[in-house]
Amino acid sequence: MLKILFMLLLLIPFCFMKNMFWMVQNMLFMIMFILIIVNYYTNYWVNISYFLGMDLLSYGMILLSFWICSLMLMASDLINKFNNYKSLFLLNVLLLLLLLFLTFSSMNLFLFYLFFEGSLIPTLFLILGWGYQPERLQAGMYLLFYTLLVSLPMLISIFYLYNNNNTMNFYMLNNLFFFYMFLYISLILSFLVKMPMFLVHLWLPKAHVEAPVSGSMILAGIMLKLGGYGLLRVFNFLQFMGLKYNYWFISISLVGGVLVSLICLRQTDLKSLIAYSSVAHMGIVLSGLMTMTYWGLCGSYTLMIAHGLCSSGLFCLANITYERLGSRSLLINKGLLNFMPSMSLWWFLLCSANMAAPPTLNLLGEISLLNSIVSWSWMTMIMLIFLSFFSAAYTLYLYAYSQHGKLYSGVYSFSMGFNREYLLLFLHWFPLNLLMLKSEMSLLWL
């Protein structure tokens, strides 16, 4: 684990050298492939150094972090082209990746908390420094205060755990069980906001709409997964409390998922629509995870990885049309089939992944989650029917409204994408479908 850490740290000087933008990105891909080649998949902690280690759960998340961060640099070509503080941008992305890597690989609950909160700061700088509209300050504050307010109780409960058990190692805490309501609420709440659960999701659409494309990609790709990852870790020792009280969160998430899907259907901003669809998807992930069945835990892990790739790809697409047309409004982004015909294939592929069409990993995740939620209670079927239906409905609305219709009269030239953009979209979509062939990794990790 330390070798990866040092490789990342040694990339930092490259940020400040001339013409090293793509070099840094290539090196990130190289580290990523080193990680893939030394394929550690095992159910217990391996590769343990002083405070870092990896099991299959962290492994998937770390790979996702490296992948998305490499693609963030690929998507942010304009920052490189117009020299929009690109060395600081590179530094920011590297620090963010470093913090995410440490978050997912720390075996100590307190260090996990520390890096979990630390990853907020580079994200905030991304939104404040490279965002588009002046509202980005408000969006940044929303992000900061929502997360910080609920993570203070979590810090207190971590100290309580340490005081009681004299350890904070995840594998030591696994043998313990607690029956303490406050501990349960405070440990879990921070992750629910990060997920985000319906009712505490307001920071997400705001942050997405104001963030640059790289900010949106990292928010949708990794930041939402931090919550799910944290829940999968803490539910090991909160099992009894979970079985007793989880029904609250399952109900809120399912009803919230349906309501958010309805909100999606009346969005006119491309990014806003994709952001709300993330909330709906995370709602179903959260309810599956909360059932604490084998299907639910595996399905939530699968869908988190699938959603990370798929949502990030959709944000890239929205940004590609934004760079051409200067607007994200669906009223202007119409008839793109005439304007960028070859991009429509990618719109179709990523939209179909978003509504969990085969052979994407999303399908595997959603089937496992449906299994777990319906086996928990048959009443949930009512909500799940609506959720699945509206999920397809708003994705279809996004695709049909943007690709078909009469081209906006202000747009008059045909425009093909750059090779960089096609490669970017391919690298989002290809792993999404390839991982389906290696699905035992996401279903046998417990």
Spell out the per-residue pLDDT of the chain, length 446, in tens: 888 999 999 999 999 999 999 999 999 999 999 998 887 777 788 888 888 999 889 999 999 999 999 999 999 999 999 988 999 999 999 999 999 999 999 999 999 999 999 999 999 999 999 998 888 999 999 999 999 999 999 999 999 999 999 999 998 888 888 888 999 999 999 999 999 999 999 999 999 999 999 999 999 999 999 999 999 999 998 989 999 999 999 999 999 999 999 999 999 999 999 999 999 999 999 999 999 999 999 999 999 999 999 999 999 999 999 998 888 999 989 989 988 889 999 999 999 999 999 999 999 999 999 999 999 999 999 999 999 999 999 999 999 999 998 888 777 777 788 999 999 999 999 999 999 998 888 888 77
| Per-residue tokens: 114 | 């520390």
Q: How far apart are CA 315 and CA 302, in angstroms?
A: 20
Q: How far apart are CA 56 and CA 40, in angstroms?
A: 7
Pair 191, 234: CB distance under 8 Å:
yes
Please, how many CA atoms are within 13 Å of residue 140, restricted to the half-sphere of its CB?
20
Q: How far apart are CA 326 and CA 323, in angstroms?
A: 6
Please, how many CA atoms are within 13 Å of residue 159, restricted to the half-sphere of its CB?
5
| Per-residue tokens: 291 | 């059932």
Evaluate the omega torsion of the peptide bond into residue 13 and state whether it is cis, within 30 degrees of 0. no
What is the Rg, in whole angstroms, of the alpha carbon atoms belonging to the chain?
21
Q: What is the pTM of this model?
A: 0.96
For the chain, the domains span: 1-443
Q: What is the pLDDT of residue 444?
A: 81
Q: What is the pLDDT of residue 5?
A: 92
